[in-house]
Structure 1
Amino acid sequence: MKEVLLLFVAYLLGSLQSGVWIGQLFYKKDIRDFGSGNTGTTNTFRVLGKKAGIIVLFMDILKGTLATSLPLLFHLGLNPLWFGVAAILGHTFPIFGHFKGGKAVATSAGMLLAYSPPFFIYSASIFVIMLFLSSMVSLASMVSAVIITISTVVIPLIFPSILAYQDWLLTSLAVAISIFIIYRHRDNIKRIKDGTESHVPFGLNKRKD
């Protein structure tokens, strides 16, 4: 019973819509009415600016970290990744936002931070490199998700100091999350093909849209 209750708590943590709340409280804007209409970090940067975007980024990461840490805090035997998944589902389908949320990239990163800090640093580095090469958050997110998924199998064999052992639940969830992230970016994929996708002012292909 405690496990079910805490899984629901993890889902509620994920459902906290930091971008929407910060926009409404400090900027008198609902980010769902601007940009892509998404409630996550990228649209917050686009609509509210760098300061708000950074705050929302850290808050969305923190949601995943806190949720994944619940089994440790309450001495449960379940794999903490299940609680991270609950937070990801909450972020994507928030009960506080009519089940229309973000794309779960930052919250997934928060799950990795709680699960394995060295692997989180490795994964964050992959994302930064992909962002530098493409200057597109959407493309960097999708490519990084695929690379990180492959890394869950390869890294324990080559660099166990980064990821100590092969966890097939981690790999399975990484596959599912990667597919989900790509699916959630289907509109971005179309814009990338059309050459109309938004770029960030960072990296080799930076430009201001």
Structure 2
Amino acid sequence: MDAQVAFDFSTLLFYLTAFFLGSIPFAYLAGRLRGLDIRQHGSGNIGATNAFRVLGPFMGTVVLLLDAGKGAVVALWAITSFGETVAVIAGLAAILGHTFSPFMKFKGGKGVATAAGVVITLIPDIALICVLLFATIVALSKYVSLGSITVAITLPLLAFFFNKPLAYQIFSLATAVFVIYRHIPNIKRLLAGEENSIRRNQSKL
């Protein structure tokens, strides 16, 4: 897919659509079903991790699947209709939409679940390795943030190692940098020994 096609009017409109699909705040909507504003509980984040913390395992799982589903739908739609270059740009648009949702005054989650949906769709073999690595890190450390950061660092390394298409390598690197940037507060808390682990008491409804 050449640059001209990747940035013509139809694809630019598609990127905008991907952004708005990504911006649907499922954790916030799930909280409203329980009669609360998730932004006022737990970490205040509208991502899947805080949904688990505040809303419990069932609703947290639903939010996780929906947030990942946003990325998967966008990536699948793009790869089947336009090609690799459009797919990775649309995937990044969905991640940015989740993180800077216009429905939430341009605030949002950290993009991990939505990024996972894109990766699962475009490079499923690498996604499997990342999921196993994430599960192992979280099981051993009890820190979801540490699992997310570790996978973010590993993702582009795997894309380069397995010689994935250049578009996927660039996507992996851009996603890694963005996810790590969004986790800077978590990194500071991890270094200070103040990060919330899954062992700690969850917020009560």
Please tell me whether residue 186 in structure 1 is matched to residue 184 in structure 2. Answer: yes
When the two chains are superposed, the root-mean-square deviation of aligned CA atoms in Å is: 1.4
Please tell me whether residue 18 in structure 1 is matched to residue 31 in structure 2. Answer: no
Distance, in Å, in 2 between the alignment partners of 1:130 and 1:169 is 28
Please tell me whether residue 88 in structure 1 is matched to residue 86 in structure 2. Answer: no
Q: Which amino acid aligns with 1:171?
A: Q
| Counterpart among 1, 5, 17 of residue 9 in structure 1 | 17
Corresponding residue SS for 2:45: coil
Q: Which amino acid aligns with 1:182?
A: I
Gaps of at least 5 residues in structure 1 are 157-164, 201-206
Please tell me whether residue 31 in structure 1 is matched to residue 38 in structure 2. Answer: yes
Corresponding residue SS for 1:12: helix
Corresponding residue SS for 1:196: coil
Partners of 1:6 and 1:70 within 8 A in 2: no
| Counterpart among 107, 110, 117 of residue 114 in structure 2 | 107
Distance, in Å, in 2 between the alignment partners of 1:185 and 1:71 is 28
Corresponding residue SS for 2:176: helix
Distance, in Å, in 2 between the alignment partners of 1:197 and 1:6 is 38
Report the CA distance between 1:173 and its aligned residue: 2.3
Hey, what does 1:61 align to over in structure 2?
Answer: 68
Q: Which amino acid aligns with 1:191?
A: R
1:164-183 map, 5 Å: 165-183=163-181
Alignment TM-score, normalising by the size of structure 1: 0.86
Hey, what does 1:195 align to over in structure 2?
Answer: 193
Distance, in Å, in 2 between the alignment partners of 1:83 and 1:70 is 9
Identical aligned pairs, as a percentage?
Answer: 37
Query: How big is each residue's C-alpha offset from its partner over 1:132-169, in whole Å with a ceiling of 9 and x where there is no partner?
Result: 22110011100111012211111x2xxxxxxxx42222
Distance, in Å, in 2 between the alignment partners of 1:135 and 1:46 is 13
User: Structure 2 vs 1, CA of residues 67 and 138 (structure 1 numbering), >3 Å: closer, same or farther?
Assistant: same
Q: Which amino acid aligns with 1:48?
A: L
Gaps of at least 5 residues in structure 2 are 1-8
Report the CA distance between 1:36 and its aligned residue: 1.2
Please tell me whether residue 76 in structure 1 is matched to residue 82 in structure 2. Answer: yes
| Runs of 4 or more above 6 Å deviation | none
Distance, in Å, in 1 between the alignment partners of 2:98 and 2:15 is 14
Q: Which amino acid aligns with 2:109?
A: G
Alignment TM-score, normalising by the size of structure 2: 0.88
Corresponding residue SS for 2:70: helix
